[in-house]
Chains A and B, each alone.
Chain A
Amino acid sequence: GQQLNQSPQSMFIQEGEDVSMNCTSSSIFNTWLWYKQEPGEGPVLLIALYKAGELTSNGRLTAQFGITRKDSFLNISASIPSDVGIYFCAALYNNNDMRFGAGTRLTVKP
């Protein structure tokens, strides 16, 4: 079940703006993941983080694994219309127990 607190729930931004979203938990996790879900599709993995403090980039996306291992953030720089979708954080508690955030719905206005 969902034990990750993801915020914000939704964002309406102008094209070109930067975006920041985060996930927190009361539990420690070994892996943090960020997925993107576009309308009518399944979640697609964007970034995986394996070590506390790790900062990883994927194009305009940057994510960090919090030093306490209880949080993670995702930043999107210079947003474009195709960034629209729902972004989910996920964390692996043990090898087969993945928890999800409720998602951040991103709308980008051209």
Chain B
Amino acid sequence: DAGVIQSPRHEVTEMGQEVTLRCKPISGHDYLFWYRQTMMRGLELLIYFNNNVPIDDSGMPEDRFSAKMPNASFSTLKIQPSEPRDSAVYFCASSLGGLRIHKNIQYFGAGTRLSVL
């Protein structure tokens, strides 16, 4: 399996522009997670989906952030309008899900490094 695939790997944009980050989870995984990583705050969970349905979006910082999962193999995280403080590395992770605890281990993509100028 190719693992969790994220694109783009790097994104540089200007303040006020719309940014869309993409994620393809591991095939067969029912859970998908979006994280943000910064030096100050470490890894923060933004939102997660189960079977394409958003379950917990309490970590989404503002209304400028939105996430969708139109099907089992694709998710997007959108920031509109972007601001310099959104600069961070954004990770997508997926897990099988299920009653057995080992099925809930999360596997991460390589991340998208976002710079908002």
| Contact surface of A with B, Cβ cutoff 8 Å | 1-2, 30-31, 33, 35, 40-45, 48, 50, 88, 92, 95-96, 98, 100-103
Contact = CB atoms under 8 A, between A and B. Distances in A.
Given A40-B110, A41-B111, A50 B105 contact: no
B117 interface: no
27 contacts: A31-B104, A31-B105, A40-B110, A40-B111, A40-B113, A42-B91, A42-B93, A43-B43, A43-B91, A44-B108, A45-B105, A48-B102, A48-B105, A50-B102, A88-B43, A92-B101, A95-B98, A95-B99, A95-B104, A96-B31, A96-B50, A96-B95, A96-B97, A96-B104, A98-B45, A98-B106, A102-B42
Nearest to A35: B108
Interface residues of B, number: 29
Given A30-B101, A95-B101, A96-B48, A43 B108 contact: yes
B65 interface: no
Contacts of A96: 31, 48, 50, 55-56, 95, 97, 104
B37 to A, nearest CB: 9
Chain B contact residues: over half helix, strand or loop, or mixed?
A: strand
Contact of B107 (A31, A45, A88, A95): A45
B44 interface: yes
B25 interface: no
A42 B110 contact: yes
Q: Is the interface of A mostly helix, strand, loop or mixed?
A: loop
A30 B101 CA distance: 8
B34 to A, nearest CB: 12
B75 to A, nearest CB: 15
Contacts of B107: 45
